[in-house]
Amino acid sequence: MKKVLLELGGEVISIGSETEDEGVSLAPGSRVRNVLEKVGISLDRREGESVALWAKALAQFARSGVGGDGRGEIEKAFGELASAATSAATALAFASLRFGGPSTLKAAAADLADEWPDLADLLVEASTLVVSISDSSDDDTGGIATDGATSRYHGSVVPPGVVDRDTRIAFAEAISTPGPYLVELATDLDLEVRRAVARNPASPDEALEILAHDPSESVRITVANRVACPALVLAGLSRDDSLVVRRTVASKSDCSPEVLDVLARDGAAEVRQAVGDNPTTAPETLTLLARDLDRGVRMSVGRSRRGPEGALLELLRTGDERIRQVVAEAESASEVVLAQLIEDPDPAIRARVVRNNGITATLLDRLALDADVGVRTACAAHPLTSVETLQRLAQDSEGIVRRAVALNGSASEVILAALVSDPLDWVRSAVTGRRDLTPAVATIVLLEWPDVALAPEVLTRLGIEGEVAR
């Protein structure tokens, strides 16, 4: 059995003895105990929100470092940390005690010297407690194996169990964890730890570059999904062997136009489609994708808000009905593109053109002559349809078209006055139910249909109290 010797300030403690319950007591006046107690007292009443995590780490160190009475004494020294308040910076300094050797703890102490010189002195003193960990079996690794591999935290050797998995994950997730520790955790043997580093918004570029080459696809996907991912990291991930990783990069709004242009030539249609759906893809790249052999890719160009006129016209030349429908709804469709679509043989596509935000009054005037009643009705309801065209549609043979005109806010007094006499009650009611009727039109309504109920605001404008009974 391996026996690990931990030298703490001149006191050598044996860890992992053959008797499971055997431990080492720390004498009340020992330097180890005194320093730990002083650190615990110094941390008391400091402000912050990370104290519980670091107290757990130190307690775990105590449990793994010694057993029996000694373990209890150290745990007691840090027991009050769980309910105390400590600053994130102070807590981070103690990460060195867990993840690194004396040099990293001294560096952390130096960083705090200006803010808390008393605590910095304690940390320097505490750094002398972690001096060496040696293996009495004299193996070649120079370290202690954990899950078949040597720990890589700042080149130090961490005894098995000192840094438990949950604590490492908590460190990897904390935005207050210093960059150097996150870089080290990026090489952790545990997948969840590495994935936590990939999610951490505070992870430095160096850690992300390491994780971008992680053997786990899920880690690389997590890196690619970051809200802000370095351009060089995304560029590297765009060449990843995983289709899912490349598709994730292609979907990123912060992906550079150059990388998106490369991905537009990707061998996987799913990746090229993601480029077409990306709102930041350059018009030149969309024009390239408009000629793609895959229908899904071409449709993504039609859905794009940045699709150039040439790309959309290229899509129309394919003759694909579903793609024509998508182009008819495209936000970027110009008047030239829409003018070509109003001649489409499919009335449903012509109706989609009417509903396109880019439609013009000129095109609406032409579509108002359409043979399909659905297209004419859409024109009659459109707010950009000219008064002249509305007047013509008010005489349409289809009641649904005339009712759409009666409900159109652009309909003039002359048009509404004429529709008051419409033979269909549901067309007339569309006029009489309007709350914006002028006194002139309202008077005509009451003269012709004295029993009709007008909106209260209309009656107020007429100077009539109450509502005329139906």
Answer yes or no: is pLDDT of 230 > 50.
Answer: yes
Tokens of 253: 């709004």
Separation of alpha carbons 201 and 309, rounded Å:
39
Establish if 318 belongs to a structural domain.
Answer: no
Higher-pLDDT residue of 324 and 17 is 324
Q: Residues of 439-449 as b/e, b for ≥16 C-beta within 10 angstroms?
A: eebbebbbeeb
Contact by Cβ (8 Å): 225, 200: no
Does residue 205 lie within any of the structural domains? no
For residue 421, tell me if it sits in a domain: no
Highest mean pLDDT (candidates 58-62, 86-90, 345-349): 345-349
**Global model pTM greater than 0.75:** no
Tell me the Ramachandran region of residue 165: left when phi exceeds 0, alpha when psi lies from -120 to 50, beta otherwise.
alpha
Span 217-227, average pLDDT: 96
Burial class of residue 242 (count of CB atoms within 10 Å of its CB; 0-12, 13-18, 19+): middle
Q: pLDDT (tens digit, 9 = 90+) per residue, 322-348?
A: 999 999 999 999 999 999 999 999 999
Please answer whether residues 74 and 26 qualify as being in contact, where contact means their C-beta atoms are separated by less than 8 angstroms. yes
In a domain, 183, yes or no: no
Token couple for 266: 């990707």
**Could you tell me the pLDDT band of residue 458, with boundaries at 50, 70 and 90?**
confident
* Domain assignment present for 407: no
**Structure tokens belonging to residue 315:** 């899509």
In contact, 181 and 168? CB cutoff 8 Å: no
Residue 338 falls within a domain, yes or no?
no
Among left, alpha and beta (phi > 0; psi -120 to 50; other), residue 148 is left
Residue 345 maps to a domain = no
- pLDDT per residue as tens digits for the range 108-163: 455 545 545 555 555 555 444 433 222 233 333 222 223 333 333 333 333 333 45
Q: What is the pLDDT of residues 296-313, one digit of tens each?
A: 999 999 999 889 999 999
| Cα(153)–Cα(150) distance, integer angstroms | 9
Within 10 angstroms of residue 340's Cβ, the number of other Cβ atoms is 18
Report d(CA 400, CA 2) in Å as an integer: 90
Distances (CA, A) of 295 to 23, 209, 243, 323: 71, 35, 19, 8
Radius of gyration of the chain (CA): 37
Task: Give the domain range for residue 7.
Answer: 1-163
In a domain, 259, yes or no: no
- The predicted structure's pLDDT at residue 2: 29
Kindly report, residue by residue over 359-368, the tens digit of the pLDDT. Answer: 999 999 999 9
- What average pLDDT score do residues 97-113 get? 46
Helix or strand (DSSP H, E) at 310: helix 309-316
pLDDT, tens digit (0-9, with 9 covering 90-100), for 194-209: 999 999 999 999 999 9
What is the arrangement of strands in the sheet containing 11-15, beginning at the earlier edge strand? Answer: 11-15, 4-8, 132-135
In whole angstroms, give the CA distance from residue 37 to residue 58: 12
Strands (E), 178-315: none
Asked if 177 and 171 touch (Cβ cutoff 8 Å), the reply is: yes
Q: Which two tokens stand for residue 339?
A: 């003018």
Q: Which distant-in-sequence residues (6+ apart) come within 8 Å of 28 by Cβ? A: none
Q: Which residue has the higher pLDDT, 58 or 47?
A: 58
Total of domains in the chain? 1
Q: Which of 32-36, 137-141, 346-350, 408-412 has the lowest mean pLDDT?
A: 137-141
Q: What is the DSSP string of 266-312?
A: -S-HHHHHHHHH-TT--HHHHHHHTT-S-HHHHHHHHH-TT--HHHH
For residues 364 and 352, what is the distance between their CA atoms, to the nearest angstrom?
Answer: 12
What distance in Å separates the CA atoms of residue 170 and residue 185, rounded to the nearest whole number? 11
**CB-based contacts of 241, cutoff 8 Å, min separation 6:** none
DSSP state of 13: E
